[in-house]
Chain A
Amino acid sequence: MADIAAPAYRIFPIIPALKPGAMENVRSFVANEKIQTAIGFPGQLVEDWHDKAIAKMGELLGKYRSLRVFMDACVHCGACSDKCHYFIGTQDPKNMPVARQDLMRSVYRRYFTLPGKMFPALVGARDLTKEVLDEWYTYFWQCSECRRCSVFCPYGIDTAEITMAAREILDTVGYGQKYSNEIIGKVHRIGNNLGLPGPALADTLEGLEEDVKDATGVDVRFPLDVKGAEVLLITPSADFFAEPHIDSLIGYAKVFHATGTSWTLSSMSSEAGNFGMFIGNYDQLRAIAMRIRTAALELGVKRIVIGECGHAWRVAYSFLNTLTGVGDGADANDRFAQMLQKQLDHRYKQPSHICEFTWDMIQDERLSFDKEKNDKHIITFHDSCNVARGSRMGNYAGGQFEIPRNIIRAVANNFVEMNPATTREKTFCCGGGGGLLTDDLLELRVKGALPRMEVLQNVVDEHSVNFMATICAICKAQFTKIMPIYGYDRRMVGGVHQLVSNAILLGDK
């Protein structure tokens, strides 16, 4: 692996000096023919890519009115320019959100507006050349679709939606990204992003039962494919595999145990994540989401609960209803969606986030904690972008910010906030979201983490913070990898339910 150094912290966190072209050679690996064709995309760049790309763009502009509004509305005010972690960390002006959008906007003007068709040079309109297409690939795969810039846009332009449209167009002409598309293929083939087959999952869960028994003396179960269970837990497959993710899985199991909730995991639907959203492809998004519905129907569960995964919760909270019929909004003619509607228990939110589940149980006084077990930690909380800006929890505005913090305060004594300009809806991306959590983009990931690391350093210096909790598998994996490069211990990051797991009392209560 190449040696990648962390950029120096800024003395004044202001707009950095520009370094044009700084990231033009950092390109995520392109998907090969096998990966592409496995999920129905052309194996390589098609010969008539120009016409196909423009046709696809026209289709998307017609289908998504929002995209056309975003193309037209920008006045280049610059409010977004210094809000992107990748721009701050890389100093490449094309990583300014406005400049990234303009890669597509310039092409839009050329082919879809009258002035652009007639006087392209006057209105900044560009032909879609191979160089432009390559530029799209490079820079639309340097956006994590975190939508922080959108918070500051006076017109509310959703930059992530533009990135998604660009990636969708690229896939259509056979120019896909290896990391995301390989993972999507694995979900269809095996059931999860990791490629973890059922027997391996069963073996891992058995091992966890032994571990928890050894550590606590209590028989905490990790049930798999149990028909008739009340709760189906859908969690990122990283929770079965990676550190520190697995500690949160243990936390969920302890919560279910302590509250006497019957629950199950599914070997068929063993993934919460949905990379179909990252590539902006509705069919993939839906096909992946459908696995959850199939598992829920087969197992006959009453509730669907989603584990600690940021974009999974956005998909679940915002889209599962119309995609699959979980929650309200099922198509009247969709027989299976209607069946699921009847099956689920509507006294509860469908789906629920594991943090909502745990917080409800804490409020109902069905869980007890020994908070001192977490006294070795001085904790801060990193809001994950898709939870913060793409979803909600509980039944009030801002519940997605309050509920995870409430849980931390209920299970631990030492909690401090980071700079409020970088938390809640203004949170910075970890630097690895949106399909960029891959080794070939490590340089981007390290640089993109700079703004988060700067404010973390502040609370480390002022309050001796030694644990950053988060509720996203990508955040956990990204921070575990890049924090040592910034001089931190990789174990400094972990899940909210890892803290729950440390402190929970497993008894009769």
Chain B
Amino acid sequence: MSNIEVGGRSYETDEEGYLTDLGEWNPEVADYIAKTESITMSDQHWEVVNFLREYFEEYQIAPAVRVLTKAIGKKLGADKGNSEYLYGLFPYGPGKQACKIAGLPKPTGCV
């Protein structure tokens, strides 16, 4: 366990920098985590992060990559509904990197 300091507040994270308490997430923390991943949050990044949080709210897990690409495609146009677009935004993999920024737990298993 370790902690990150954002805006004078302390947040607990696990060894890999994922927030321990999902309820503590806020946009400033997301910006901070994104920076540690060398990502500057744009509107496009936020679209993905917001969708992840909505999906998680309903299903208690991050969406499958395919579900995510489809949702983004519907929202932003078919040219963006593919994993290349998502990898462009989150080079380490939309699953793990975007989840981390969205304050969701890391997907585990053979993924």
Contacts and interface: CB of A to CB of B under 8 A. Distances in A.
Nearest to B94: A243
A197 B107 contact: no
A477 B59 CA distance: 23
A227 interface: no
B60 interface: yes
Contacts of A32: 1
A16 B70 CA distance: 47
A192 B15 CA distance: 23
B57 to A, nearest CB: 12
Contact of B60 (A182, A197, A208, A476): A197
Contact of B109 (A194, A203, A207): A194
A238 to B, nearest CB: 4
A473 B109 CA distance: 9
B92 A241 contact: no
Interface string A153-187: 00000000000000000000000001100110010
A136 to B, nearest CB: 20
Interface in B55-108: 59-61, 63-67, 70, 83, 92-93, 95-96, 105, 107-108
B5 interface: no
Contacts, number: 90
A196 interface: yes
A440 B15 CA distance: 9
A428 B63 CA distance: 32
A196 B67 CA distance: 13
Nearest to B64: A241
Contacts of B1: 32
A199 B70 contact: no
Interface string B38-64: 000000000000000000000111011
A200 B60 contact: yes
A195 B107 CA distance: 8
A179 B111 CA distance: 12
B15 A178 contact: yes
B16 to A, nearest CB: 6
B43 to A, nearest CB: 24
B64 A204 contact: yes
Contacts of A29: 15-16
Contact of B108 (A186, A204, A240): A186
Nearest to B66: A246
23 contacts: A1-B37, A1-B92, A32-B1, A182-B108, A183-B108, A186-B108, A193-B110, A194-B61, A194-B108, A194-B109, A197-B59, A197-B61, A200-B60, A204-B64, A207-B64, A207-B70, A236-B109, A237-B109, A241-B65, A241-B109, A245-B111, A439-B16, A439-B96
Interface of A: 1, 29, 32, 178-179, 182-183, 186, 192-197, 199-200, 203-204, 207-208, 211, 236-238, 240-243, 245-246, 273, 309, 437, 439-440, 473-474, 476-477, 481
Question: Which 10 pairs, one residue from A and one from B, show the smallest C-beta to C-beta distance?
Answer: A193-B109, A473-B110, A200-B59, A242-B111, A238-B110, A241-B64, A194-B109, A474-B110, A238-B111, A200-B61
